[in-house]
Amino acid sequence: MPRQTKTPCGDGRTVQYNTIKVRLYPTEAQAALFENTFGCCRYIWNRMLADQQRFYIETGAHFIPTPAKYKKEAPFLKDVDNQALIQEHNKLSQAFRVFFKNPSSFGYPNFKKKKTDKDSYTACNHVFESGPTIYTTKDGVRMTKAGVVRARFSRRPQGWWKLKRITVEKNRSGKYYCYILYECRVKAPEPVVPAARTTIGLKYSMAHFYVADSGAMADPPHWLRQSQEKLSKMQQRLHRMQPGSKNYQEAVQKYRELHEHIANQRRDFIHKESRRIANAWDAVCMRADALAEMSRKLPVGNVLDSGYGMFRECLRYKLERQGKRLISISRYEPTTRTCSVCGSVRDQIPLRVKAWTCPQCGAVHHKEINAAKNIKAQGLAQYFGEQNLDMSA
């Protein structure tokens, strides 16, 4: 999945970051090294966090020891890539920085557990006279300690891209993946000024994923609902098996692979649909809905299962790369209850009501299409209001 953080370079160009995800096929020795690295990263994180807490209780000051302190008492840390341990120290430091900056939004760092936390580690690339420590080959990725690990590339980097770091991850089904982060300098896109005819308003919909102000609806397949019967049968068979047996482990593997397949289907739709919209429109207006809060309050449906939050983020960076804007309006705006014709706001509309008539002007509205029209109108008004403020400043 491409990812972008832009930094001005002073010559009309910006620094852009792209991430390429590749499937790894390690040998037994390489897989054992990955597992050892995952364990060492959890160990060093927990030790640094425990020592930081003890040091704070004793002195009242914040201090995180470096990984080098623990190598004498834990010599097995020398068997893995030192960069992976250093990155754990950097991640823990960053976790404390954001916590101290905004405790209400970022929680206090927690200890890592093998059963619940994701198996992954990150290593940075360093270029020496003898060559880089990490690089890609025709059919593999060369890593420190592990050597060349066989890999399958879905796409290749451009020749001028610089490899910055990699993240090796093992998913629930036991497959290994590598996320390769590249840095490159690109020409800054020309800002695109949105107009009413080249802007689309999108309203989140549990039934249709989204509804546009034109009345268009996404209506993607409900992948989890379609596979629910198969998942239920797998769970029933698992309950009748002896935990730890060979049949039980094989059934668990099939269960995890089915969930992985569902997630891949959802991700594929999100990327294709966000790319289509980003190419077709100059601006997209959306409401900044708190999906986690909606999932707790709504009595029916699974809001988080749709992947709408990921869709919103994919739209944002794909629009930015073309000089376009994702305009977010406040989630407290009464877009559903506001008449898009006369602007009057009516009382609360029941969840089951799909259409309503404005008591002021008599216009008949489809609830979600009307909300999408209001989102578009308020988004454009917000955008041009910001531009006027910038010009006056």
Both 172 and 250 in one domain: the answer is no
Nearest-5° Cα angle at 265, 260 to 268: 120
Per-residue pLDDT at 5: 52
Q: Final residue of a domain: which of 187, 213, 240?
A: 187
Per-residue pLDDT at 291: 83
Both 127 and 207 in one domain: the answer is no
The number of beta carbons lying within 10 Å of the beta carbon of residue 223 is 19
341 within some domain = yes
**Confidence tier at 293 by pLDDT (50, 70, 90):** confident
CA distance 5 to 183: 10
Per-residue pLDDT at 359: 86
Q: Are 1 and 21 in contact (CB under 8 A)?
A: yes
Per-residue pLDDT at 206: 84
Q: Final residue of a domain: which of 161, 187, 213?
A: 187
304, amino acid identity: L
Both 183 and 34 in one domain: the answer is yes
Q: Could you tell me the two tokens for 348?
A: 């609360």
Q: Final residue of a domain: which of 187, 215, 241?
A: 187
Both 88 and 207 in one domain: the answer is no
2 within some domain = no
Tens-digit pLDDT profile for residues 86-105: 999 999 999 999 999 999 88
336 within some domain = yes
Contacts of 354 (CB under 8 A, 6+ apart): 366, 367, 368
CA distance 83 to 141: 16
Per-residue pLDDT at 8: 57
User: Does position 133 have pLDDT exceeding 80, yes or no?
Assistant: yes
Both 203 and 256 in one domain: the answer is yes
Per-residue pLDDT at 362: 86
β-sheet bridge partners, residue 119: 170
Higher pLDDT, 163 or 359: 163
CA distance 286 to 329: 6
Per-residue pLDDT at 7: 58
Which range of 2-16, 19-33, 298-312 scores highest in mean pLDDT? It is 19-33
Mean pLDDT in residue range 46-66: 93
Per-residue pLDDT at 300: 61
Provide the 8-state DSSP code for 350: P
Where do runs of H (alpha helix) occur along 282-349?
291-297, 308-320
Which stretch of 7-21, 154-168, 225-239, 293-307 has the lowest confidence by average pLDDT? 293-307
User: Does position 3 have pLDDT exceeding 90, yes or no?
Assistant: no
Both 57 and 127 in one domain: the answer is yes
Both 52 and 170 in one domain: the answer is yes
User: Does position 302 have pLDDT exceeding 80, yes or no?
Assistant: no
Tens-digit pLDDT profile for residues 180-213: 999 999 888 899 999 999 999 999 988 889 999 9
6 within some domain = no
Both 179 and 271 in one domain: the answer is no
User: Does position 393 have pLDDT exceeding 70, yes or no?
Assistant: no
CA distance 337 to 345: 6
Higher pLDDT, 390 or 59: 59
Both 169 and 267 in one domain: the answer is no
Task: Provide the residue range defining the domain that includes 138.
Answer: 13-187
User: Does position 321 have pLDDT exceeding 70, yes or no?
Assistant: yes
The percent of residues above 70 in pLDDT, for the chain, comes to 94
**Nearest 10 degrees: CA dihedral of 50, 53, 54, 60?**
160
Mean pLDDT in residue range 40-44: 96
Both 200 and 255 in one domain: the answer is yes
Both 276 and 179 in one domain: the answer is no
Q: Is 292 exposed, middle or buried (0-12, 13-18, 19+ CB in 10 A)?
A: exposed
Element (H, E) at 99: helix 82-101
User: What mean pLDDT is reported for the chain?
Assistant: 89
5 within some domain = no
User: Does position 390 have pLDDT exceeding 70, yes or no?
Assistant: no
Q: Are 284 and 326 in contact (CB under 8 A)?
A: yes
Both 153 and 222 in one domain: the answer is no
